[in-house]
Amino acid sequence: MAFENILVETFDAVGLIRLNRPQALNALNAALLGELNAALEQFDADERIGAIVITGSEKAFAAGADIKEMQALDFVGAYRSDFLGEWEKITRARKPVIAAVAGYALGGGCELAMMCDFIIAAKTAKFGQPEITLGIMPGMGGTQRLARFIGKAKAMDLCLTGRMMDADEAERSGLVARVVPSEDLLDEALRAAARIASFSRPVVMMAKETVNRAYETTLGEGLRFERRLFHSMFALEDQKEGMSAFVEKRTPAFKNR
């Protein structure tokens, strides 16, 4: 499939998707969304790929949903087409997805980054939910994921004032996993993804699924889910290999990659 709004590359076992609408600061329109979902599905299904990175440009990860596309929308049209409901598909990728964020991650851009498994941010990154300034509120998970990830106080502050948060504040708040100098952003994200891809694929996928379960269930159910999957890992050759390699002081050669 030929893409017009994203660029897709592979680096060994890592799939890289770059949002590429520079004229609109990577504003997220329906065409870009369709392409992003298609590229993610392809990487998720590709046996050679173990982890995926989504990034934007130096200036913008994404400056939000495309305001020009939304401007003329009416309630009936938005409701009947379940406008932008397709975004949820991103969270269905079973392989880990890292957001590498430089510049603006605003509105839908911040929400897209939060749909990824973790965020690595450049010093220049700016996160925010400025929808309130447009007469709307976040609609792709901003009110829900922010509240869970950074707590009520900061979620309210960002959603109600529309202010931006810099990379250091985002890291302090728990939104961002790591902050790195801008020039190192892509290398750092690709290195993290390559490291993930070097581990046992089923174990990585189960670890992702289990951490995500923490956001959807009670602690007791989550702990039982974790323990059941943990037990199942003793059926894997990769468990034997990983533990034998540790005891024998050598690097493990995982088979299920």
Residues near 191 by beta carbon (within 8 Å), at least 6 away in sequence = none
Among the residue ranges 40-48, 100-108, 165-173, 194-202, the one whose residues contact ligand CO8 (CB under 6 A)? 100-108
Say how far apart CA 170 and CA 154 lie, in whole Å: 10
Q: Name the strand (E) or helix (H) holding 153.
A: helix 152-161
66 lies in the binding site for ligand CO8 (CB under 6 A): yes
First CA to last CA distance, the chain: 25
Structure tokens at 219: 């602690």
Of the candidates 38, 67, 132, 214, which one interacts with ligand CO8 according to CB under 6 A? 67
Handedness of CA 215, 208, 92, 68 (dihedral sign): positive
C-alpha separations of 95 from 71, 83, 111, 158, 222 in Å:
35, 26, 19, 30, 20
CB of 184 to ligand CO8, least distance (A): 23
- How many chain residues interact with ligand CO8 (CB under 6 A)? 21
83 lies in the binding site for ligand CO8 (CB under 6 A): yes
Residues noted as catalytic: 65, 108, 111, 131
27 lies in the binding site for ligand CO8 (CB under 6 A): yes
158 lies in the binding site for ligand CO8 (CB under 6 A): no
Of the candidates 139, 155, 179, 190, which one interacts with ligand CO8 according to CB under 6 A? 139
Of the candidates 140, 159, 179, 185, which one interacts with ligand CO8 according to CB under 6 A? 140
115 lies in the binding site for ligand CO8 (CB under 6 A): no
175 lies in the binding site for ligand CO8 (CB under 6 A): no
Q: Closer CB to ligand CO8, residue 35 or residue 131?
A: 131
Range list of β-strands (E), 66-142: 97-101, 104-106, 118-122, 126-128
| 176: amino acid identity, one letter | V
Q: Closer CB to ligand CO8, residue 1 or residue 76?
A: 76
Angle, helices 142-150 vs 152-161, to 10°: value is 140
107 lies in the binding site for ligand CO8 (CB under 6 A): yes
Write out the residues near ligand CO8 by the rule CB under 6 A.
24-25, 27, 63-68, 83-84, 104, 106-108, 130-131, 134, 138-140
